[in-house]
Structure 1
Amino acid sequence: MSTVRFTPDDIARIRFSSATYPAVEAFFAAELLHRLPYRPRPGSWTHYVRRRLATVPNVQAALERTVSLGGELVPLLYGNGDWEQARVVTQWPKRLHGPMEVLSEVLRSGIHRYWPSVRRLHSRAYRAARRVSAERGVAALLESTGEGVRWSSGSLFVDDGEEREVFCEGQGLVLTPSVFLTDRPRLFTWRKGDGRPPRCLLVFPVCPHGQAVNALTVDSAEVPEALCRLLGRTRAAVLASLTQGCSTLGLSRKLHISATTVSEHTSVLRSSGLITTTRASNSVRHLTTALGTTLLNATAQPQEMWCAKCEPQAGQLLGRPA
């Protein structure tokens, strides 16, 4: 259990991170990939990234090595917005070069193409946290970041598997959300080595039930969240990809799912009147109907809550009926 001792100055300087850093999310994505089963659901974020990482030699061992260095890596990654510059910093220990290469591949495969969707989920987490802070105060804000976090008599207790006492020395605490952290909040503390006070960072999950990763899309504007809840994420992505028309093979490549899976989804969408299918030589072309376009437009506004378990908890925190 980590115990963070706050002074009045520290309490006044509890704040949200001024930016979101892809490299930090890459670390938690690597941690998630290391922990999840090797055969994920087709069409999911995990399925896509697993396929891309298959080219990394001894990928599981590489992920395990990277994850084990979290306490050292995250402080180095935090604050480095320019990844390409950060990863070639010459003063970094040589033992970190291998893990940095793994994170670089995770960043390319699983973060960059999903970054607009990741930022959208970060924004929702920030809005929810700010509402709690405004209506219930700092203590409620900190305790709302996830399980195992408790405020008592000016101290914060974080059940993160560590046994330590932390003093912020007037610098306060920075809060930042993570889409890929799917369990308890994680506390990181470090010093720059130049005599300045320590930095204290609390990373909390956007969804402690692991649903945030399932909400990721390549282009969140193309696949409305409400439609994903109605049709299922993969089928909704198929429908949203057909506004300009596409072949079965083209859909397979675009969504990184098998042609057989594409055919199953297009069959259901066609029988529901949401798409049409025309054949030309040896290929077929699918296109949304007027009804399909109407459905896409009608569900264009994203839902504030997309996890059934989080929704009633958020209502209780904000004083609303669950």
Structure 2
Amino acid sequence: MLRIHFTAEDLLRVRIASDPAPLLELGMAIAALQRDDAVFTRWARRIRLPRSTRPLFELIPPTAGGPLFLDPVSEDFDDGLDRVLSTPRDDVDAELTRSCRPTPWTKGLIDRDRDAWRTLERALRGAYDGLIEAEWTRIRASFHADVAWRRMLLSEEGLRAALVSICPGSRWDGTTLELNAPWESERLLGGHGLTLLPSPFWTGGPRTNVHPDGSMLLVYPALTPLPLIEPEAGDGLGALLGQTRAAVLRVLTAPRTTSELARTLGISGASASEHARTLRRGGLVVTRRTGRAVTHLITPLGLRLLNAE
């Protein structure tokens, strides 16, 4: 469980990032390539990265828990790369020691060896070209769809609902936000506030870092993962949720089992289950189990979203 302790000042300083961060998404994409995640399976199969990118897989594991200096929050790739390459030696040493198995190459990074850092720069540039640049339009679409949804929650139900819906099983205990995570951690914001950043490549628990403005950065899965974002969405709800997921929401104005949902939309049972799970995480669908049967139904919040089309 990740527990984030808010003061009154912190509650006034909760904000949502204005745009995705290229290098942060690059790290998440490298992690996604290594995870056994059904949503990303087809996407991962078509990715072909140059050999120069292989060193990144030594640094970034499937959990995305690599060295923090690799994924700064920046407006563009070049600015972020400059920040990586100018990381102080002590920070490089601490982060590589914390997160990586020592190798001659990582030792070279710690010792500021020019060849080692050129290798890292080539790896980052190659991975950016192969994973981020070509997908930037869809990355931004997924990011801004989640931001639009989060802002709607803020206006309709307030800050408590907007934050607790980030992860299934999360809750408030007074002014402490308890987010479902596979580890125990206590975070005191200390009046610096919180910045939310949805990631189209991430499907795991919440991750934290320090934002350049001094607030705590909370990275969480975007409502619609990158592979489910269509290149062109034909309607507003489709742009927000993805066309298939919007269709799922429309169908669930009447209760449906997962198999009924799959048959109605002509999709697989696994896909129907995944779409329902994500909509449930966003508070748009409720799922009930009666014996062996699992039934999904739209929530009042989901109906309001449909009625706003």
Which is higher, the Rg of structure 1 or of structure 2? 1
| Residue identity matched to 1:182 | T
Identity of aligned residues (%): 22
| Residue identity matched to 1:29 | A
Match of 2:80 in 1: 83
| Residue identity matched to 1:25 | E
**How far has the Cα of 1:121 moved from its partner?**
1.2
Greater displacement, 12-21 / 64-73: 64-73
CA distance in 1, matches of 2:56, 2:66: 16
Greater displacement, 165-174 / 306-315: 306-315
The residue matched to 1:123 in structure 2 has which SS?
helix
What pairs up with 1:56-71 in 2 under 5 angstroms?
Answer: 56-57=53-54, 61=58, 63-64=60-61, 67-71=64-68
**How far has the Cα of 1:215 moved from its partner?**
2.7
- Are the aligned partners of 1:62 and 1:99 in contact in 2 as well (CA < 8 Å)? no
Greater displacement, 165-174 / 153-162: 153-162
Match of 1:243 in 2: none
Inter-CA distance 23–180: structure 2 relative to 1 (3 Å threshold): same
Per the normalisation by structure 2, the TM-score is 0.62
From 132, 139, 143, give the equivalent of 2:153.
132
The residue matched to 2:193 in structure 1 has which SS?
coil
**How far has the Cα of 1:116 moved from its partner?**
1.1
Counterpart check, 1:182 vs 2:203: yes
The residue matched to 1:320 in structure 2 has which SS?
helix
**How far has the Cα of 1:189 moved from its partner?**
4.5
Match of 1:10 in 2: 10
Match of 2:295 in 1: none
The CA RMSD over aligned residues, in Å, is 3.4
**How far has the Cα of 1:57 moved from its partner?**
4.5
The residue matched to 1:120 in structure 2 has which SS?
helix
What pairs up with 1:209-288 in 2 under 5 angstroms?
Answer: 212-216=225-229, 220=231, 224-225=232-233
What pairs up with 1:30-179 in 2 under 5 angstroms?
Answer: 30-36=30-36, 44-49=42-47, 51-53=48-50, 56-57=53-54, 61=58, 63-64=60-61, 67-71=64-68, 73-74=70-71, 77-79=72-74, 81=76, 82-89=79-86, 91-92=88-89, 93=92, 94-95=109-110, 97=117, 102-179=123-200
- Are the aligned partners of 1:12 and 1:172 in contact in 2 as well (CA < 8 Å)? yes
**How far has the Cα of 1:145 moved from its partner?**
1.2
- Are the aligned partners of 2:69 and 2:84 in contact in 1 as well (CA < 8 Å)? no
- Are the aligned partners of 1:149 and 1:185 in contact in 2 as well (CA < 8 Å)? no
CA distance in 2, matches of 1:99, 1:151: 41
| Residue identity matched to 1:181 | W
**How far has the Cα of 1:152 moved from its partner?**
1.9
CA distance in 2, matches of 1:65, 1:180: 12
CA distance in 2, matches of 1:154, 1:8: 9
| Residue identity matched to 1:78 | V
- Are the aligned partners of 1:45 and 1:110 in contact in 2 as well (CA < 8 Å)? no
CA distance in 2, matches of 1:100, 1:148: 39
- Are the aligned partners of 2:56 and 2:120 in contact in 1 as well (CA < 8 Å)? no
CA distance in 1, matches of 2:174, 2:129: 44
Match of 2:241 in 1: 305
Per the normalisation by structure 1, the TM-score is 0.60
CA distance in 2, matches of 1:162, 1:9: 27
**How far has the Cα of 1:182 moved from its partner?**
1.2
Match of 1:320 in 2: 303
- Are the aligned partners of 1:45 and 1:216 in contact in 2 as well (CA < 8 Å)? no
**How far has the Cα of 1:103 moved from its partner?**
4.0
What whole-Å deviation, never above 9, does each CA across 1:2-41 have from its counterpart, x for those lacking one?
A: 2111111100111101332111111111111121379x86
CA distance in 1, matches of 2:83, 2:183: 28
CA distance in 1, matches of 2:3, 2:202: 21
**How far has the Cα of 1:65 moved from its partner?**
9.2
| Residue identity matched to 2:225 | A
Inter-CA distance 139–99: structure 2 relative to 1 (3 Å threshold): farther
Residues paired across the two proteins, number: 230
Match of 1:29 in 2: 29
CA distance in 1, matches of 2:120, 2:168: 29
What whole-Å deviation, never above 9, does each CA across 1:170-191 have from its counterpart, x for those lacking one?
A: 111100110000122223348x
| Residue identity matched to 1:162 | W
- Are the aligned partners of 1:3 and 1:166 in contact in 2 as well (CA < 8 Å)? yes
